[in-house]
Structure 1
């Protein structure tokens, strides 16, 4: 697997799984009917933020997943030393280590960029695989917003704020 900077040319490969994940309503607070152009604007971030794709470097270069990383708060404010990120793995390629590789990439990027911590603002508590992955990489749940997310199958569930000191 190769992780590289995403380009506009990658969006047609990202959009199908992005749309599928968002429309499921299980893990992202995005509008379920988010359109392609708006989704592109929310996901493909301009510098100094960054968006990457994980591609299958042995199987024809298929896009397996993507991550976007950015400053958690205002770039000009007193919280600019904390990074954040979001991840999407094509459900057809889950369980192959794509999420772990993307998360490890983000941690390395944040360290190299001089951030002192990473904060995930909204990890849905029923997204157990993601919570387990983040915890295995050293993130801690520092708080939970009770009933902060309307899950389509579980109703109102908590949203974790997760933190990793760098």
Structure 2
């Protein structure tokens, strides 16, 4: 059984603790199309959301940073009734249910905030762990953009668009 974890709103002081796993996940090139090689300062606006969005962190009982998620409207204006989100789990803490807890938190947040649905714009099709997780939380693949992601091992692979009506 995994030790308990809590999810809380990220504080700007959390960013230096998020950045190491943000940069390692981006450098691995398997799940995100963020620019590579971003410095601590350059990467900050790519992850730390401003209102109406929110960035949260998952920490264990001793304060160890396990992961983070960012969430907010998928599009401004007439698209702002649909939420979106992105998730990071520190590779050193994968397999502990952190991604599931962050996903459950995000779905609850979107409901509380009155969103009509949640759209994930770009889930790499070879990221089968994430695809299965989102499906288990009620998301459906509504389409796949073929060869839209340049994976370092698999070459050009598809990006799933996933959706859940709330």
TM-score by length of 1: 0.96
TM-score by length of 2: 0.96
- Map of 1:5-154 to 2, 5 A cutoff? 5-57=9-61, 60-74=62-76, 77-154=77-154
- Offset at 1:35? 2.2
* Number of residues of Structure 1 aligned to a counterpart in Structure 2: 162
In structure 2, runs of 5+ residues without a counterpart are none
- Offset at 1:30? 0.7
8 Å contact from structure 1 (residues 24, 32) kept in 2: no
Report the 3-state secondary structure (helix = DSSP H, G, I; strand = E; otherwise coil) of the residue aligned with 2:132: helix
RMSD between aligned residues: 0.7
- What does residue 6 of structure 2 align with? 2
> Post-superposition, which runs of at least 4 consecutive aligned residues in structure 1 deviate over 4 A?
none
8 Å contact from structure 1 (residues 140, 163) kept in 2: yes
In structure 1, runs of 5+ residues without a counterpart are none
